[in-house]
Structure 1
Amino acid sequence: MNQPTLSLIPMYAAVAAGRSMTLDVLVKIMPPTVERSVQRPPLNLGLVLDRSGSMSGAKIDYARQAVAYAIEQLLPSDRLSLTLFDTQVKTEIPSTLATDKQKLLDIVRHIRTGSSTALHAGWVNGGMQVSQYLNPEHLNRVVLLSDGLANVGETRPDAIARDVHGLMERGVTTTTLGVGADYDEDLLEAMARSGDGNFFHIDSPDQLPEIFDTELQGLVGTVGHSVELSLTPLLGATLSDVLNDLAKTPAGALKLPNLTVGSPLNIVVRLRVPALAEGSQVLQVKLAWQTPQQTEVYSLSGALHLDVVNPEQMSDFPANLDVEAQVALLMAARARQEAIRFADRGDWVGAASALRESSVMLSAMPASPEIADELAAVQELTSDFETGEKSLARKRAKYQAYNLSRSRSSGYGKQPPNPAR
């Protein structure tokens, strides 16, 4: 099988002899390419759709379009189920092979709205549908869409996230989509993190088909899951920070997003390097993952070697522009998280101030399309916190920070993705 590539890029290619320093290191992981002739693994999808009363009108119309789009993309070897929930949970389409798409589309066209939001029970039913045909060689995922708060049955975020994590450990991942200003973004993000899936904030229901396209393209482009990165400092070096907001395994490895064709992962670690007398290896890394078709764990290792030069030679080693850019983007993600903390205390002025400081940092970076896009996003978000609808501003900030930490643009899913099929 083709393997990913692993590169370790320090902010500076050398350190001054006899001087300790803090050094940012970019760990860049490029997923392998896949030959177009290679058939992708079958999908085993469980769609879980909120049809509570608040979904009436445009929301349910676009949700139907999004589900129909998903059905149209499936192969005959793929499986699909559809669970609807309001106060009650209904299995509208039991898990079935996508061999009669017209029949499935006819069912979707007749979806109507109801009353309250039994989110947890709906997700459980969707997970059961996928689990009935669980195959470790397939891509098994629950995709949940809601516009409201879990207010029927289990509503505790920690309990729901724990259940999602348990299902993930059995091989079924979870993606969540929140629509509008009234859903619980903390709950849906926690479910996505615990479920090794994706979290999407959707401002307007007309974005739903595009978001479903992004999710499906990412799923069929998955070439590695259960991805972990172990970091081992050497020769007295210490790991002082990881700029990405990533969970850890019980053994201390970083839990990374899935390896997806065409989507590199950029992890920035902050290393405290002691005074060195000669060139040395100061960091070892190990990447581990599984492929959708295999249960075997694959691994790839790398090491960072730093040259040592006289202090007066350091001017010959300028900062690496790629590392600088990734640091700026991840600090912009942290600024969004700081803005959320200010907002949760009712300090909207402090929230906007944190974002303005991020704008200053991004403005000082060398010009690039990526930096320009993120600068525009931060400035728009600052305006949201100052004058816009506060609930939406918080959701946008959380969604953007989530994406940046996972090596995506802050507006991931809002532009057409590159085809991965």
Structure 2
Amino acid sequence: MSKIRTAALVIALSASFLPAPGGAAELKLEADLGQTVLSASKPGNVYLRLSLKSLAAGKREKRTPVNAAIVIDRSGSMQGERIAAAKEGARVALKRLSSDDTVALIAYNHEVDVLSPAAPLRNSRDKLLEAIDRLHADGTTALYDGVKEGGRQVEEYVSDNNVNRVILLSDGLANVGPSSPGELAELGRKLASKGISVSTIGLGLDYNEDLMQRLAAASDGNHVFVERPSDLAEIFDREFGDALSVSARDITIIIECRAGFTPKRILGRDGSVDGNKVTLKLNQLQADNERYVVVELEAPEGRTEGAADVADVSVTYVDLDNGGKPARAEAKPSVRFSSNAKEIEDGLNKPVMSQVTQQIATENSEQAVELRDKGDIEGARKVLEENAEYIKRSRDVYASGAAPAPTASVGALTDLENKSREAAGSLGAGDWDRTRKMMRHDQHKAKVQQAY
């Protein structure tokens, strides 16, 4: 029997950020729970959603410099149209960047070659373009060493005042050196600890999507599935557009639950739960993008009617639009306990619950992949079909009535429903490679709110 996750009892009240003493925060923090009123007598699980938005959107006078390494797979499988498209993508990336940005170009097959070491573009643009023109494909795939060298090049100019990023393109399996998803995830965590994210671009149907996705997730980077080489130039353009828009980095979120509220788990992201304390880290926040975190809490029973504090939330980060200075934002979400059933029913926060539904639906999608990997096609199909129905029921509730969810959130749920139904019909041997890669891409995008 398949078991899909659904949202049961949930809470919510918005608590906007409180800037720390000493200056105005450039990051807007909202702590929202799925329901503004809870039962005073019945226990249940509740969802706390933290939303992070940059206040710099639309008023930035100068963007933060980018410090990037472009790491390109040039193994034999990249011959022909693929290597030509990779070269064009790299050229497109350089057009997006200015003389103040720093770029390195690394190519790898069974060996790793630094075609152009990290240097400001004012001194290296011509050399980079010549190196791109010389790229050719042959040999096997030392993916781990290629990423490691990319990280080393970025480290040469790593700074709190830069957006530090490795962009990896590969079309094949890592078959030289460390090659497991766990080993690549550990490399991603090491780079993240140095303020470097890794974005991974998988080309075609032969790469290891688990390896690429886990590497990106461990460093809070992007992950993209590109089926056709002709789409690479657009993806490079969007990836560097994403890097150019980063306004905050090295974000640490600490949630300390008040008495009676117990953290149970974090949805969609890595983090730690230690007693009543939850800690998460995000590498970066774009000026025109919202990122959010969902934590499931256990609510107390037998509470006195009236208002109660839920948690103390603090966010520290590096403000790139203020010279890389450290900054802080705080929120103190609260909720009201009641014995009035109508008050409890009317307290549903539909905007919050629409995003909670996205995370639960993504968990169900991951369960379907696990079942299909074990050969249980019918079990995977049942999970996906039930997931689509769960999304539809939730969307119908959250899109209607008073204070509905925003149009964008409703649209996201519709998209998830359609993709779940499409995947349910594409689990056969001839379709699975493509379906699996698309599902991993969509799961990653939903979990980290990838901007493209």
Give the 5 Å matches for 1:24-173. 24-34=47-57, 36=59, 38-99=61-122, 101=125, 104-173=128-197
- The letter for the 2-side match of 1:403 is K
* CA deviation after TM superposition for structure 1 residue 71, in Å: 0.7
Distance of 2:110 and 2:204 partners within structure 1: 20
- The letter for the 2-side match of 1:355 is L
2:296 corresponds in structure 1 to 270
Deviations 1:79-127 (A, max 9, x none): 1111111122222222232236455334323321112101122222222
Give aligned-pair identity as a percent. Answer: 25
2:402 corresponds in structure 1 to none
Find the residue that maps to 1:385 and give its secondary structure: coil
Distance of 2:237 and 2:272 partners within structure 1: 29
Distance of 1:317 and 1:104 partners within structure 2: 60
2:342 to 313, 335, 345: 313
Kept after mapping to 1: 8 A contact 2:25/2:327: no
**Structure 1 residues 193 and 19, CA gap change in structure 2 (3 angstroms):** same
1:225 corresponds in structure 2 to 249
Kept after mapping to 2: 8 A contact 1:72/1:101: no
Deviations 1:43-71 (A, max 9, x none): 12111100111112222122111101001
Find the residue that maps to 1:319 and give its secondary structure: coil
Stretches of structure 1 that go unaligned for 5 or more consecutive residues are 414-421
Which deviates more from structure 2 when the two are superposed, residues 338-347 or residues 183-192? 183-192
Kept after mapping to 1: 8 A contact 2:89/2:232: yes
**Structure 1 residues 271 and 130, CA gap change in structure 2 (3 angstroms):** closer
2:7 corresponds in structure 1 to none
Distance of 2:435 and 2:126 partners within structure 1: 40
2:311 corresponds in structure 1 to 283
- The letter for the 2-side match of 1:298 is A
CA-based RMSD of the aligned residues comes to 2.4
What is the number of residues matched between the two proteins?
410
Is residue 341 of structure 1 aligned with residue 370 of structure 2?
yes
1:247 corresponds in structure 2 to 271
The alignment's TM-score, normalised by the length of structure 2, stands at 0.84
Distance of 2:272 and 2:248 partners within structure 1: 18
- The letter for the 2-side match of 1:363 is K
* CA deviation after TM superposition for structure 1 residue 316, in Å: 5.8
Distance of 1:331 and 1:131 partners within structure 2: 37
Kept after mapping to 1: 8 A contact 2:220/2:448: no
Distance of 1:265 and 1:103 partners within structure 2: 37
Kept after mapping to 2: 8 A contact 1:243/1:270: yes
Deviations 1:176-210 (A, max 9, x none): 21112211122222222233322222222222222
Find the residue that maps to 1:225 and give its secondary structure: strand
**Structure 1 residues 312 and 48, CA gap change in structure 2 (3 angstroms):** closer
Kept after mapping to 2: 8 A contact 1:246/1:405: no
Kept after mapping to 1: 8 A contact 2:96/2:241: no
Find the residue that maps to 2:332 and give its secondary structure: strand
1:392 corresponds in structure 2 to 434
Stretches of structure 2 that go unaligned for 5 or more consecutive residues are 1-23, 400-409
* CA deviation after TM superposition for structure 1 residue 295, in Å: 5.9
Deviations 1:237-276 (A, max 9, x none): 1122332233349985022352111211222222222132
Kept after mapping to 2: 8 A contact 1:192/1:199: yes
**Structure 1 residues 272 and 172, CA gap change in structure 2 (3 angstroms):** closer
Find the residue that maps to 1:279 and give its secondary structure: strand
Find the residue that maps to 2:46 and give its secondary structure: strand
